[in-house]
Each structure stands twice: as structure tokens, then as C-alpha cells.
Amino acid sequence: SDSKDTIFKVVLLGCPGVGKTALTVRFLTKRFIGEYCPTLESIYKYRTNFDDDEVKMEILDTAGQMEEGWKDGYALWGDCFVFVYSITDKDSFDEIINIKRQVENVRHSTAISGILVGNKSDLLHDRQVPVNHGMELADEIGCKFYEVSAADWTQVSVISDMFQDLFRECRRAKNAR
Ligand code: GDP
């Protein structure tokens, strides 16, 4: 298939407050979030160049407590997934395995293109999830792992690389289909 004509649909999933909006906004605008509505759910449309291809992306920043029906809708809509937890919130980490499983169930497939992201790495003094636990979980769920801080402006390029990696992985999976 020709990736030039393809829209890559990215869905950010994770517990409320882990930084899904902050990561999306950082990636798209290179800025940290200012005023915004944390319960608003948004689809961001984005056009960029990756690997000499023009790429159209749609990024769905899920928000609030996900209701059952909507969750299924997100899982079906997306081509690839950003599973986000906060390194300062052990519960948000423990929830990732359930979220991943729900996506698999809805799609009737374990072949999910995704990355695992431990956000808020600037809050080292509040860390509840060691780096190696993140790495182990990533291995377990078959995703690449990143620990990042959406709040740290020096990480703009790391966050951008992260989305590029996801795009590449997603394109590989699409072309293999
Ligand atoms: P969402 O509910 O997952 O979309 O989370 P938000 O993006 O709304 O972020 C929740 C809160 O965490 C907000 O107060 C953000 O400013 C804050 N936040 C997000 N990312 C980071 C980060 O990397 N470091 C720090 N210190 N705070 C962050």
C-alpha cells in the first residue's frame, strides 16, 4: 500500500492525569500545555515529513474516565497506540496491562502497533515506578519503551523521535498486512 495516501491514526491511552495531553501538545507545538480543558477529547490532525514521505497523522487524545463503548471505539479507530503511564503513579503503570488487553480483545488481535511511555521523568523525587519495571513491561507487551518528560523542553526531540518510531512501526505493520 502507498503510505503517502494513508492517514495514520494514533491513539493515546492511559489513566487520567498521566500526561497524554501534555505529550500530544509537546509533540505538535513543541510547547508545554498552557490553558486547556483536561476533560476535552480531541483529534489533532497533523501533516509532517518522516523518512522523506509526507505523512498525515490523526492523533486522538483520549480524556477522562473512559466509558465502555467509547473505549472499544478508540481501539478500533486507531492504527497504533501510545500507552502512557506516569512514573509517579504506580496504579497508572499497573493499569497498562489491562488497557493493552482491552485493545487486543476489541481488535481480536495481539498484533498491536504501540509504544510504552513512562511520562513525568522530571519528577524523580516522586518516582514510584523504577525504569527497569518499565522496560520489563515493554518486553512483556511487545512495545518499545521510552521514559520522558512532557514538561521538560529539552526533550522535544526525544518525544518527536518517539512518535516517529511509532509511525515506522505502524507503517511496517500496515505494509505487512
Ligand atoms: P492527561 O489526563 O493524561 O491528558 O494528563 P495531562 O496532560 O492533562 O496532565 C496532567 C497533569 O500533569 C497536568 O497538570 C500537567 O501539567 C502535568 N504533567 C503532564 N506531563 C508532565 C510531565 O512530564 N512532568 C510534570 N512535572 N508534570 C506533567
Separation between Cα atoms, residue 57 and residue 67, nearest integer Å: 25
Judge whether 137 and 95 are in contact, CB under 8 Å.
Answer: no
Q: What is the pLDDT of residue 173?
A: 84
Query: Does the CB atom of residue 170 touch ligand 1 within 6 A?
Result: no
Query: Does the CB atom of residue 113 touch ligand 1 within 6 A?
Result: no
Q: What is the pLDDT of residue 9?
A: 93
- Could you tell me the three cell numbers for 46? 497533523
Judge whether 24 and 44 are in contact, CB under 8 Å.
Answer: yes
Separation between Cα atoms, residue 21 and residue 65, nearest integer Å: 14
ipTM: 0.99
Q: What is the pLDDT of residue 106?
A: 92
Separation between Cα atoms, residue 174 and residue 47, nearest integer Å: 19
- Amino acid letter for position 106: V
Query: Does the CB atom of residue 171 touch ligand 1 within 6 A?
Result: no
19 alpha carbon – ligand 1 mean position (Å): 4
Q: What is the pLDDT of residue 171?
A: 87
Q: What is the pLDDT of residue 35?
A: 47
Query: Does the CB atom of residue 38 touch ligand 1 within 6 A?
Result: yes
Distant-in-sequence contacts of 36-44, Cβ < 8 A, 24+ apart: 38/63, 39/63, 39/64
Separation between Cα atoms, residue 22 and residue 100, nearest integer Å: 21
Atom of ligand 1 nearest to the CA of 16: 2
- Amino acid letter for position 168: R
Q: Which residue positions in the chain have pLDDT lower than 50?
A: 1, 3, 35-36
Q: What is the pLDDT of residue 74?
A: 85
Q: What is the pLDDT of residue 64?
A: 58
The candidate with the shortest Cα–Cα distance to 79, out of 176, 163, 3, 167, is 167
List the residue whose alpha carbon is closest to atom 18 of ligand 1.
19
Query: Does the CB atom of residue 86 touch ligand 1 within 6 A?
Result: no
Query: Does the CB atom of residue 117 touch ligand 1 within 6 A?
Result: no
